[in-house]
């Protein structure tokens, strides 16, 4: 997985000629949300047949369930690894550091919460997801996406939230 992070590669090298079918399906879809659904439908059989989850993948799923509000030190300790060992193994298997994964998860969940509850204030969302204040959340959003929270909603159009509506089930660590 780490070898694919931020990499530009030919889909046929990874998934075979069926990627051409995926490209055709994506071109037929009109909205971004429909394209995401087509991609998920295409990739799901690959995920189902993937190798069993490793301990690092389970800790990543745990972070998702906790909406990115997890103390990395505590997580490493809970699985019997030093922080440094955990960070190294996580990055090797997941493709990014556990801290970045947690930040991205918190960012995505906060954004999805606003999509589901559009009248809710960004300040309330910032507090729920452990940001010190709204300014801290805006800084994190800008760092991860290049723009501010409200603008992301406009840019993503009809994309449906996944982190709020489809929580991941995790087997105990």
Confidence of residue 60 (pLDDT cuts 50, 70, 90): very high
Output the 3-class SS for the chain: CHHHCCCCCCHHHHHCCHHHHHHHHHHHCCCHHHHHHHHHHHHHHHHHCCCCCCHHHHHHHHHHHCCCCCCHHHHHHHCCCCHHHHHHHHHHHHCCCHHHHHHHHHHHHHHHHHHHCCCCCHHHHHHHCCCCCHHHHHHHHHHHHCCCHHHHHHHHCCCCCCCCCCCCCCCCC
Name which residue leads in pLDDT, 42 or 11: 42
For the chain, give every domain's residue range. 10-48, 55-156
Confidence of residue 161 (pLDDT cuts 50, 70, 90): low
55-156, superfamily in CATH? Answer: Homeodomain-like (1.10.10.60)
pTM: 0.68
Confidence of residue 151 (pLDDT cuts 50, 70, 90): confident
Could you report the per-residue pLDDT of 88-136, keeping only the tens digit for each? 999 998 889 999 999 999 999 998 898 888 899 999 999 999 999 999 9
């Amino acid at each position: 997985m780490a070898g694919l992070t931020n990499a530009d590669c030919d889909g046929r090298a990874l998934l075979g000629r069926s990627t051409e079918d995926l490209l055709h399906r994506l071109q037929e879809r009109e909205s971004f949300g429909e394209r995401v659904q087509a991609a998920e439908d295409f990739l799901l059989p690959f995920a189902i047949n993937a190798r069993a989850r490793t301990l690092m993948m389970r800790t990543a799923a745990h972070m998702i369930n906790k909406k990115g509000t997890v103390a990395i030190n505590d997580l490493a300790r809970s699985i019997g690894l030093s922080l440094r060992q955990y960070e190294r193994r996580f990055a090797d298997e997941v493709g990014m550091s556990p801290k970045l994964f947690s930040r991205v998860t918190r960012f995505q969940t906060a954004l999805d919460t606003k999509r589901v509850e559009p009248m809710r204030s960004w300040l309330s969302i910032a507090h729920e997801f452990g940001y010190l204040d709204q300014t801290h959340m805006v800084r994190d959003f800008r760092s991860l996406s290049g723009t501010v929270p409200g603008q992301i909603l406009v840019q993503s159009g009809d994309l449906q939230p996944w982190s709020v509506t489809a929580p991941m089930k995790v087997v105990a660590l």
